[in-house]
Structure 1
């Protein structure tokens, strides 16, 4: 039986690489993104449930794996007007954390109702542990929240065969990472990565595929780092 997968943020960067590695004869993948898959704007509170319902219909009423990859990385400097700073915080939390939480809830309820096992793979960030720049409190906090959520799901539903994993990339060579590296003086940042380079999206995708399809159940709750030893725990 094919494994049915919903992947958010599948149109570029890490998401596109994950989509490629999860497109196999034994899987059916529904992606979400701005340029491919099912469109959904996660700044809209109605979007996560609408996406879930459309994906469920497209996959004949069964989703086996949810991969939460969609996210934004937008600067919110402290010297913004207060209301603008709060708006930036709330936008990042809604897109990066609340939308993922809604999809996780819908997935868990789906599996419970159907009496099925299932897997959740959440793409977080090393920022969850290391923090980020002064203009990105919200990004680091959203990814730390994703880690806490993943662990709670793993502990809460393992007995029902519902597994959850989190992956924490460091800098990854997507368009977003290239802009960030350039703006921060790339050579200095690269000097902080013992491997000497940022990760390739395909490397993160390999880890996501493992968690989605192959990781043994006893690994549930694991948080997996992939950052070239730039942050070790």
Structure 2
């Protein structure tokens, strides 16, 4: 059975993606930051060793048969400009590590693994799906420089991977949601005026985790190889490009 590693799968978009993939008959190897559910691998990405530990455990559980990785885990915490220098820098580095560096580490492990695998009939060896953010293109609030920078870096990384390894059958897709109805986004919406912020979304509502999960599932299982390198927006037309 095909196995897919989904990081940050304990709630929100990650939980919805895991459910959607399982409904397609996929074995999902889930991940969460802290221990508590034996079905998910616990790995705290603020620890530089955690990404490698997660990958090795996922490979062990799947018997070395990971067909795709969904880089979804993220940290979204405000970092006030008025903080002390060390507090501001610590928050910056934590967000970059969790949102970008850990995804880069796991992507690297996956690419190296797939380079040694035999391609399927469609020529595909493996797929990466990166859950980035509208912030990668539009930017974010004054308290979220670090988040926007991390997601912008993820998009640049994704495009580089797609161009570098397409000829080897290693595909990369990215999704850039806007506001999504998760606990993380809920706190942010409330901090910026709540329902009044919806005026900036022509659709008139935020996305649901299930909507983003449908896009993730498409990229992980169905997207044609010629789509590698694509970035799929899902923001209710609040930012079009």
Q: CA deviation at 1:188?
A: 2.1
**Residue 79 of structure 2 contacts residue 144 of structure 2 at CA under 8 Å; is this kept in 1?**
yes
- TM-score relative to the length of structure 1: 0.97
> Superposed, which structure 2 residues align to 1:160-171 within 5 Å?
160-171=168-179
Query: How many residues get paired?
Result: 232
Q: What's 1:15 paired with?
A: 14
CA distance in 2, matches of 1:26, 1:183: 39
Aligned to 1:126: 134
Q: Distance in 2 between matches of 1:25 and 1:101?
A: 27
**Residue number in structure 2 paired with 1:96:** 99
Q: Is 1:208 aligned to 2:207, yes or no?
A: no
Match of 1:45 among 38, 45, 48: 48
What displacement does 1:187 show? 2.4
Give the Å deviation of 1:167.
Answer: 0.2
CA RMSD of aligned residues (A): 1.0
TM-score where L is the length of structure 2:
0.94
Contact 2:2 2:65 in 1 (8 A): no
| 2:233 pairs with 1:225 | yes
Q: Deviations over 1:170-209 (max 9, x none)?
A: 0000011111111111122100000000000000000000
SS in 2 for 1:199: coil
Any idea what SS the aligned residue of 1:10 has? coil
SS of alignment partner, residue 64 of structure 1: strand
Matched, 1:5 2:4: yes
After superposition, residues 175-194 of structure 1 pair within 5 angstroms as: 175-194=183-202
**Which runs of 5 or more residues in structure 2 are unaligned?**
120-124
